[in-house]
C-alpha cells in the first residue's frame, strides 16, 4: 500500500505532514512511502532524511499522488494533485471544512474519501490524533515569545540598586489549549498573568497555572458538549465587554485566542478598548485568520494604533515548524494506524466514532453532518 506526502503550496506554510520518524514507522508496517521533493525543507527535514527513513522521493505532487492509497498533507491539496489521485484514495489533512465549499465538493466529485483533521472528536481515545491541540499548544507558546520580543520592557520583576523593574501584566483571553499554554509561558517568563473565558469550568485550569481568572459574575456557562466555546447571548456579550474594558486598560500585553467553530472570530477587543491601553502595550491576535478578535488587526502584519502594537501573525505553529511538523506527523500517523489492517491493507471501520467524526467525503458525496444542518 502506498502513502504519498505532498509539499505545501501556501506561501506561509512551512510545515509538512510526515517526519522521518513517522515515515520509519509506516515503513515498519510494510507500507510504501513517497515524499514530494522538498516537502520537508521548511521544517528542516531533507529529502535525504526521508530516504534514510525508507521513503522514496517524487519530483512533483502529481507523481507523488498518482496511484497512492493514502495522501497526507497539512492543508487542502492543490487541484492538480487532486486530479492525479485515484478514485477511492484516502486524503487526510487540515481541510478547512468551514472554508470554500467548492473545494470540498471537488474532493467528493473526485471520488476521494477525505478526512478533516480539525474535526477529530475530542474524546480520550483520540487525544493522540488531535491536531488542533498539538498545533494550538505551540501557537500559544509562540504568541507569548513574539509578544516578549516586541515588548519594550522586561517581563519579570527585577530588583536592582537603581530601582525595581515591575513585572509585566499579561491578559490572556480564552483558556483553551492555546490560551493555557500562553498563560504557562507568560508565567515562566515572570509576568503577572490574568485570563478570562466564557466557560466557567476554565477557571480551575487558569488558577492551577498561577493566573487570576476574570469572569462575569452570574454569566451563564457558554461551553458545548465537546468542550468548545459557543457564541454568547447579546446580554452576556455586553457584560463580558464591560468586564474586559475595565480590566484591559491596565494590561501591558493582551493575547486573544477566541474562535467559534464555523463562525467568524468574535470581537473581544474594540478600537475604544485599544485606545485605553498605555503606549508601548502589545496585543497578539491569534484569531486573525478568522477575522480577528480585534478590528484593528491585519492578517500577516504588525501594526500600531496610538502607540499600541497589534500583532497579526498568521500560522503561528508554522513559525515553529520543526516541532509543529513532528507533532502533526505523529497525529496523522496515529490516525492512519486506525485504517491499517494487520496485513498492511486499507481497512476503514465506519463504525468507529473517530472515523465518522472527521470524514468529510466518501463515495462521491459530502457526508459530514456539519453540511446537513
CA–chain centroid gap for 111, Å, is 28
- Which position among 12, 49, 103, 122 bears the catalytic label? 122
Is 228 labeled as catalytic in the residue annotation?
A: yes
Beta carbons of 34 and 58 less than 8 angstroms apart:
yes
273: which 3 cell numbers? 478598548
Beta carbons of 147 and 253 less than 8 angstroms apart:
yes
- Which position among 22, 69, 130, 328 bears the catalytic label? 130
* Cα–Cα dist 47/213, whole Å: 47
Residues with Cβ within 8 Å of 347's Cβ and at least 6 positions away in sequence, in order, are 339, 340, 341
* Cα–Cα dist 296/283, whole Å: 10
Tell me the Cα Rg of the chain: 22
Beta bridge partners of 45: none
For the chain, the distance separating the N- and C-terminal CA atoms, rounded to the nearest angstrom, is 36
- Which position among 73, 94, 133, 222 bears the catalytic label? 133
Is 122 labeled as catalytic in the residue annotation?
A: yes
Is 130 labeled as catalytic in the residue annotation?
A: yes
Is 127 labeled as catalytic in the residue annotation?
A: yes
Place of cell 516586541: 150
- Which position among 96, 103, 150, 228 bears the catalytic label? 228
Is 101 labeled as catalytic in the residue annotation?
A: no
- Which position among 46, 101, 125, 127 bears the catalytic label? 127
Strands (E), 183-278: 192-196, 212-214, 253-256
CA–chain centroid gap for 344, Å, is 31
Please tell me whether residue 83 adopts helix, strand or coil conformation: helix
User: Catalytic positions, please?
Assistant: 122, 127, 130, 133, 228
Amino acid at each position: 500500500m502506498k502513502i504519498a506526502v505532498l509539499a505545501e503550496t501556501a506561501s506561509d506554510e512551512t510545515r509538512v505532514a510526515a517526519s522521518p520518524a513517522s515515515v520509519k514507522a509506516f515503513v515498519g508496517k510494510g507500507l510504501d512511502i513517497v515524499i514530494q521533493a522538498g516537502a520537508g525543507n521548511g521544517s528542516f527535514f531533507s529529502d535525504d532524511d526521508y530516504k534514510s527513513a525508507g521513503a522514496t522521493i517524487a519530483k512533483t505532487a502529481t507523481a507523488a499522488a498518482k496511484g497512492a492509497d493514502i495522501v497526507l498533507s497539512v492543508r487542502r491539496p492543490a487541484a492538480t494533485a487532486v486530479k492525479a489521485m485515484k478514485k477511492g484514495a484516502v486524503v487526510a489533512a487540515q481541510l478547512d471544512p468551514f472554508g470554500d465549499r467548492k473545494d470540498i465538493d471537488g474532493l467528493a466529485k473526485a471520488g476521494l474519501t477525505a478526512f478533516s483533521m480539525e474535526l477529530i472528536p475530542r474524546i480520550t481515545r483520540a487525544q493522540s490524533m488531535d491536531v488542533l491541540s498539538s498545533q494550538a499548544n505551540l501557537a500559544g507558546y509562540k504568541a507569548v515569545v513574539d509578544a516578549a520580543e516586541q515588548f519594550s520592557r522586561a517581563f519579570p520583576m527585577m530588583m536592582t540598586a537603581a530601582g525595581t523593574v515591575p513585572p509585566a501584566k499579561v491578559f490572556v483571553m480564552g483558556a483553551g489549549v492555546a490560551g493555557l499554554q500562553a498563560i504557562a509561558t507568560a508565567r515562566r517568563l515572570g509576568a503577572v498573568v490574568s485570563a478570562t473565558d466564557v466557560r466557567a469550568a476554565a477557571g480551575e485550569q487558569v488558577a492551577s497555572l498561577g493566573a487570576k481568572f476574570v469572569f462575569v459574575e452570574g454569566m451563564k456557562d457558554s461551553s458545548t458538549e465537546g468542550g468548545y466555546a459557543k457564541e454568547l447571548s447579546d446580554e452576556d456579550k455586553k457584560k463580558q465587554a464591560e468586564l474586559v474594558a475595565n480590566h484591559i486598560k491596565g494590561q501591558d500585553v493582551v493575547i486573544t485566542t477566541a474562535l467559534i467553530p464555523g463562525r467568524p472570530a468574535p470581537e473581544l477587543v474594540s478600537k475604544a478598548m485599544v485606545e485605553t491601553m498605555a503606549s508601548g502595550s502589545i496585543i497578539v491576535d491569534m484569531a486573525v485568520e478568522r477575522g480577528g478578535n480585534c478590528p484593528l488587526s491585519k492578517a500577516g502584519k504588525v501594526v500600531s494604533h496610538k502607540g499600541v502594537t497589534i500583532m497579526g501573525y498568521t500560522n503561528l505553529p508554522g513559525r515553529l515548524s520543526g516541532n509543529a511538523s513532528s507533532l502533526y506527523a505523529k497525529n496523522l500517523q496515529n490516525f492512519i494506524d486506525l485504517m491499517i489492517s494487520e496485513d498492511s491493507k486499507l481497512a476503514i471501520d465506519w463504525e468507529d466514532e473517530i472515523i465518522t467524526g472527521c470524514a468529510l467525503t466518501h463515495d462521491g458525496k459530502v457526508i459530514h453532518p456539519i453540511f446537513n444542518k
